[in-house]
Structure 1
Amino acid sequence: MPDPQADKEDELAGTEQPFVAHLMELRDRLIYCIYGIVAAIIVLAIWPGPNGLIDFIARPIRAHMPPDAKLIAVGVFSPFFVPLKVLLLVAVLAVLPWLMYQIWAFVAPGLYSHEKKFALPLIIFGSLLAYAGIAFVQFFVLDRMFSFIQGFTPASVAATPDIASYVEAILSLYLAFGLAFQVPIVVMLLVRFEIITVEKLKEFRGYFVVLAFIIAAVITPPDVVSQLALAIPMCFLYELGIWASKLFVKHSRAPEESGEAATK
């Protein structure tokens, strides 16, 4: 019996490109990414500048240090390389939507029209979630975490952290929370590609709570505050992903899938 789907014209038919063309397209997209990062570096170098960025990310810990205390630079080259490292990272974060768009533009020719409709909103949503995770670290988690840690510091000990180790710890928290806040995106994609159903995700709730606390214990510093601050939002984001996946699947169906669903 002939497959009715076989009679429909594939909208991607005839769009195949040679391997060299793919390499050239990839090269162009990488160049565009570099242009975006360089432009962000130039702007940030002018204002607020590397020193201004360092002062900004150091605010949470300096709020719990004596007024005249400062972070120290133990390494010989730390005063030079640490601000540059922070400048580069902030530049990448600033143009994250642009970088994600270049990835989407590279794979878009191989996507069907209904797939293109939800790819770009996912990029925007994922970027916003990453920014939300980083902002959550900067304006909430760090203040509570350092307040908790400083509470265990003896009065005879002067807490003067090294700027290099501090920046490394902060950047790792930014990365951890930025990735952890992508839980709704992962859940939505799992449901959309029928790897798992919404009903199964609901049944998995209890296991995910345990998994979230295990992940938080592994990737955050060994303090209760940062672990709770990561695990609890992950659980809420999991629920958000379950709710959003229902709408996402409904509005991202292929035309033939929508027709089949309407006839049922």
Structure 2
Amino acid sequence: MAVKKDTGFDPARTLGLLWRVGNKPSRTGLSVDAIVDAAIAIADAEGLDAVSMRRVADRLGVGAMSLYTHVPGREELADLMIDAALGSLYSGIEEPSAATDGWRAGLRFVAERNWILYQRHSWLLDAQGPRAVLGPNTNDKYEAELRVLENSGLSDVEMDSVLTLVLTHVAGAARALARFDRVREESGMSDAQWWEATAPVLEKVMDRDRYPVSSRVGTAASMSYDAATDPVHEYEFGVERILDGVAALIERR
């Protein structure tokens, strides 16, 4: 499913769809919500590329043309899917700040929830673009996550930058994990099996005298992970180091 906006894309029209301005179900019960739910179910099962207006229509048992009365096209549908998926992140705007004590625990909570979200809806990693989808759930998410940094001593711009840093790290680690899962499935080999087959050959061709540091570090890491790397470890390690950096920034205030 392409998410690149074509020349016919109308941001104002999409914004109206996201906030359900003037949207009403048809006589058959077909609605924007029903279309979006069907599209998300397809994406969860088969990935974003599997989502098309025809596939969604087939899942709903209606003609493809009937969808266009509610959703103009795939680009708008992608935005609606993103915003809908973000609606499951928190029980309410207050949850991240109310469920934790202090900004550090709050940011860790935010990171964990987003990490889990990407495991549930891995297609979000392909769907999200550089421009925010300004729907109600997206706005709720931004507000909820910023509140954990309120009264931390950071400026407003720093609050936005810190949150962006955490979320970018989480998305990158989640993307790495998704690639690892895909490679395991396509190759039919676990990481341990791949390393078992690779290590003896690498030992023969790689000169340890030329690469003394990388040989030592690589061996220690692979033995620890039982693989070449571990995206889950990188996610956890990265979050804590980011939080250490934020703490240092706050202390300088």
Say yes or no: TM over 0.5: no
**TM-score of the pair, normalised by structure 2:** 0.29
Bigger Rg over Cα: 1
Provide TM-score, normalisation by structure 1.
0.28
